[in-house]
Amino acid sequence: MNHEQEAIQAAEQILKDALSAHETNQIKEQQSAMPWLANTCSDLLPIEQLGTVNDKVHIFAIRQVADEVPTTMDGLPNPMNLETNSAVVARLEHMYSFEADEEAHECLNSMSSSIVLNEGSKLEHNKGMGLFMSIRNQWFVLYAARRLTVSKRCGTDFTTSTASILGMEDTPDKFFANWPDISQDTKELITNLLFFAEAAVIMERKMPAVYKTMAQRIMNSLEDKDDE
């Protein structure tokens, strides 16, 4: 191996190490934020849904907020030690409360719903959006940066696991094996959240013409309903 090949190999290794460290830091950040998200989401419920956090499935959006100065919140860890002038400000907002699990399955496992989410995420104020789900205040699901983090409340503690969407495609059962007591319904809710977040994104990438037609029809239909 000559000096040029050694230099290329060394550069490739540095890049691999940097990417691995970045992924590790992202996972740490997401996992350490789960208790704060779980304990805060009930405070964000609309008035008509107050007191339902233990009985229903709630969906929240986490979206980047432009032109705001980040503030330190008690109880929200900052494992990456981000400086306030370089941190990305995000806001947790209530999106929807499902009256029954059947409604949640039907909505989240719908291509139309996924397309509406995908189109909405393209808006300037929604860039960098993630999703957070509370399942009867016992299971909590964060999907952001194409990474799935699931937590189960165990008294005051949380059991947490993270997987990349790429790793989930082939081995979802291996991921769920972290919780032998997880119900089939909870598994389906988590899987359906992934469909909600990713189905339209994948369709737009693989079938852009078909996606464009469907998206136009769906968004036009929503606009017509708003007019009515």
* Residue in 81, 189, 188, 173 with CA at minimum distance from that of residue 132: 189
Q: How far apart are the first and last CA of the chain?
A: 72
Whole-model pTM over 0.75: yes
Q: What's the CA gap between 83 and 80, in Å, rounded?
A: 9
**Confidence class for position 10, pLDDT limits 50, 70, 90:** very low
Give the CA distances from residue 37 to residues 3, 136, 153, 221, in Å, rounded to whole numbers and listed in that order: 50, 14, 12, 34
pLDDT tens sequence across 121-159: 887 566 667 899 999 999 999 998 788 899 999 888 888
Q: What is the pLDDT of residue 71?
A: 55
Cβ-based neighbours of 18, under 8 Å, separated by 6 or more: none
Instruction: Return the higher-pLDDT residue of 74 and 24.
Output: 24
